[in-house]
Amino acid sequence: MADAADPFMTAVEVRDAIAARTLTAREACERALARIDLLNPALHAFHHVDPERALARAAALDRAAAPAGPLHGVPIAIKDNISIRGMQTTAGSRILENYVPPFDATVIARLEAAGAVILGKTVLDEFAMGSSTENSAYGPARNPWAPDRIPGGSSGGSAVAVAAGMAPLALGSDTGGSIRQPAALCGVVGMKPTYGRVSRYGLIAFASSLDQIGPFARTVRDAALLLEVIGGHDVHDSTAAERHVPAFGQALSGDIRGVRVGVPRDLLEEGVDPDVRRAFDQSLRTLEELGATVQTVTLPYSRFAIPVYYLVATAEASSNLARYDGVRYGMRARAGTLGDMYDETRSAGFGAEVKRRIVLGTYVLSSGYYDAYYLKAQQVRTLIRRDFEQAFDQVDAIAVPTSPTPAFRIGERADDPLQMYLADIFTVSAPLAGLPAISVPCGFTSGRLPVGLQLTGRAWDEATLLRIGDAYEQATPWSKNHPT
Amino acid sequence: MPSTLTSADVLRIAELARLELSDAEVELFSRQITDILGYAEQVREVDTSGVSPTSHPLDVHAAWREDVPQPSLERATALANAPDANREAGLFKVPKVL
């Protein structure tokens, strides 16, 4: 039995303690809020905390005659690009500084129906565009293992909240790695589900053929539980597939004998930090000791994944962000005419990275360049998908390090967007192919910075990834390590 | 095909995207986007003859449903976030068009 005052209790432990009446939902919520009070000034995981709402919700759960659902009384942090009715939602941008959504995202409605207690909104790169949270208009979050370093991004605040014990669970969104990369750099579990597994209704759109909401947790079992709650068809999102959501928790048998794990060794030849490589190689040996087989696979077109991703994602972003015009919501610049108002609002409201991506995306969609860049990228995207289809004839999951390097220092890469983009090499392929991928902690560098192991699976087969991740977690000490 | 984005190109594109950029932003983006496009050039060397584009990562299918009227946002709620509105008449207000 976990100590009920332990900030690193898992979601399952919190829920079970409440069910056993050794803890109340209100106490769990108060402890989370106290932890946030203690750590948020230094780590800036949360942009906005709503203690009144959370405590009222927890007290109502304590009064209920029966458990609301599988997350009864479990506190959770929400990335600030997911809409909550009545709670400010900025997407990390000045242009939405005072925006208060008039409706709940579907994932929020599902969380609350399952009994989760929402604590507040976490820091992200503006409109989820970035790998460090340095593009937040409200300042970056900080890595709890080394506060002078980035936590990763764009869902960095959610990763920090979970890693530092402010919440056992968090939601993020992943377009090119925005859940998995911060999970890896903060030493927690993060998963991008299959495209279409989770409704995006109420998620502020970045790149609509890539965006997917997914879980952060400190254990794979908790991530499985959270995915089960948020997954499934939604009449409000036509891309949320009419697929049965498996009971993911039941897939965690601990038995991975005979599972075939593929490693695209040619992608690992250069650019991977030696400590990251050492932790990754050791994780493969552990998987073999558990009875999995490890074999080499090739993904020849994955070396084009970065340029394809940045052409497709910026094109879609330039279209999605056209809606911020200062008319219906968000900030408005003072100007004499409508046209000037549009121009000045967007120029004052968007930060540098967002403007850069809008310009690039508008360019690749513009007349004369569409075929050469955008259409070409979509064709190479097809080839990247086919690589995975062929590899999955031979293996059940594909393993790479989630990030080629550990967390870098805040400011270190701020002046060179291309260098920042290149670090997404291992995370952009899965969303391009629509596939699920999980990052689980797999050790530390010599400087005590966390390293993540990424496993990519077949479409709709999150269960296999969770089963491998859970078996690996049980066999290694990493999930029991916490920042001090 | 030019892979250099000049300052004039950036200004033209920014106008399409309704962004008013400072001189410093124009200069910076011209340099940075030229770098990015230079890197992206490699995609154009891939032989994609006969390859259909992926616009949607998984099986594309039209999601049909019955067209049943549902309650939508109250007008006052929809106007609540507007920077300027005539709330009595239920209208968003914008500066003059010309």
pLDDT interval class at A413 (50, 70, 90)? confident
Show the tokens assigned to A151: 């936590």
Mutate to test the interface with B, among A359, A370, A371 (most CBs of B within 10 A): A359
Give residue for tokens 């299959």. Answer: A194
Average pLDDT rounded to a whole number, residues A323-334: 96
DSSP string, A429-450: HHHHHT--EEEEEEEE-TTS-E
Smallest CA–CA distance, residue B89 to chain A, in Å, is 15
Q: Are A414 and A429 in contact (CB under 8 A)?
A: no
Residue-level pLDDT at A50: 98
Helix (H, G, I), strand (E, B) or coil at A79: strand
Q: Is B19 on the interface with A (CB under 8 A)?
A: yes
Look up residue A126 and give its DSSP letter.
G
* Closest residue by Cα to residue A139 from A279, A238, A44, A244: A44
- Long-range Cβ contacts of A296-300 (<8 Å, 24+ apart): A296/A262, A296/A263, A296/A264, A296/A265, A297/A262, A297/A263, A297/A264, A297/A391, A297/A394, A297/A395, A297/A398, A298/A264, A298/A266, A298/A387, A298/A391, A299/A264, A299/A267, A299/A384, A299/A387, A299/A388, A299/A391, A299/A398, A299/A429, A300/A387
Backbone CA torsion sign across A30, A32, A33, A39: positive
* Closest residue by Cα to residue A384 from B48, B35, B36: B48
Average pLDDT over chain A, rounded to an integer: 96
* Between B49 and A484, the higher pLDDT residue: B49
Domain boundaries, given as residue ranges, for chain B: 7-44
Element (H, E) at A190: strand A189-192
Domain boundaries, given as residue ranges, for chain A: 11-262+394-480
Q: Are A443 and A282 in contact (CB under 8 A)?
A: yes
Residue-level pLDDT at B60: 57
Contact criterion met (CB < 8 Å) for A418 and B36: yes
Q: Are B9 and A350 in contact (CB under 8 A)?
A: no
Contact criterion met (CB < 8 Å) for B54 and A378: yes
CA separation for the pair A451, A443 (Å, rounded): 5
Backbone CA torsion sign across A445, A448, A449, A452: positive
pLDDT interval class at A6 (50, 70, 90)? very high
- Closest CB from B20, B36, B82 relative to A329: B82
pLDDT interval class at B4 (50, 70, 90)? confident
pTM summary value: 0.97
Choosing from A155, A178, A283, A439, the catalytic residue is A178
Residue-level pLDDT at A58: 98
Q: Quick one: angle between helices A106-113 and A220-230, nearest 10?
A: 110
Residue of A nearest to B72 (CA): A103
Please write the tens of the pLDDT for every residue from A141-195.
999 999 999 999 999 999 999 999 999 999 999 999 999 999 999 999 999 999 9
Cβ-Cβ contacts under 8 Å, B96 against chain A: 336-338
ipTM score:
0.95
Instruction: Work out the number of other CB atoms within 10 angstroms of the CB of residue A440.
Output: 31
Percentage of the residues of chain A whose pLDDT score is greater than 90: 95
Contact criterion met (CB < 8 Å) for A355 and B81: no
Residue-level pLDDT at A352: 96
Mutate to test the interface with B, among A237, A243, A379, A425 (most CBs of B within 10 A): A379
Instruction: Quote the longest CA-to-CA distance of chain B.
Output: 60
| B7-44 to CATH, choices 2.60.120, 1.10.20, 1.10.287, 1.25.40 | 1.10.20
Please write the tens of the pLDDT for every residue from A113-142.
999 999 999 999 999 999 999 999 999 999
CA separation for the pair A416, A59 (Å, rounded): 48
Give residue for tokens 């499985």. Answer: A224
Show the tokens assigned to A79: 């990335």
Please write the tens of the pLDDT for every residue from A419-465.
889 999 999 999 999 999 999 999 999 999 999 999 999 999 999 99
Contact criterion met (CB < 8 Å) for A338 and B96: yes
Please write the tens of the pLDDT for every residue from A82-112.
999 999 999 999 999 999 999 999 999 999 9
Residue-level pLDDT at A1: 45
Helix (H, G, I), strand (E, B) or coil at A336: coil
Backbone CA torsion sign across B85, B88, B91, B94: negative
Cβ-Cβ contacts under 8 Å, B54 against chain A: 209, 378-379, 381-382, 385, 432
Task: Specify whether A79 is catalytic.
Answer: yes
Contact criterion met (CB < 8 Å) for A310 and B33: no
Mutate to test the interface with A, among B43, B49, B51, B87 (most CBs of A within 10 A): B43
* Closest residue by Cα to residue A50 from A4, A92, A85, A5: A85
Helix (H, G, I), strand (E, B) or coil at A458: coil
Q: Which residues of A102-141 are buried (b: 16+ CB within 10 A; e: fewer)?
A: bbbbbbbbbbbebbbbbbbbbbbbbbbbbbbbbbbbbebb
Residue of A nearest to B29 (CA): A356
* Closest residue by Cα to residue A435 from A193, A227, A209, A179: A193
CA distances from A411 to A135, A165, A176, A271, A405 (A): 11, 26, 21, 20, 16
Residue-level pLDDT at A4: 60
Instruction: Work out the number of other CB atoms within 10 angstroms of the CB of residue A274.
Output: 9
Residue-level pLDDT at A209: 96
Task: Specify whether A154 is catalytic.
Answer: yes
Q: Is B48 on the interface with A (CB under 8 A)?
A: yes
The Cα angle at residue A178 between residues A84 and A80, in degrees rounded to 5 = 20
Please write the tens of the pLDDT for every residue from A57-78.
999 999 999 999 999 999 999 9
Question: By mean pLDDT, which of A146-160, A220-234, A362-376 is the weakest?
Answer: A362-376
Instruction: State the fold for domain A11-262+394-480.
Output: Amidase signature (AS) enzymes (3.90.1300)
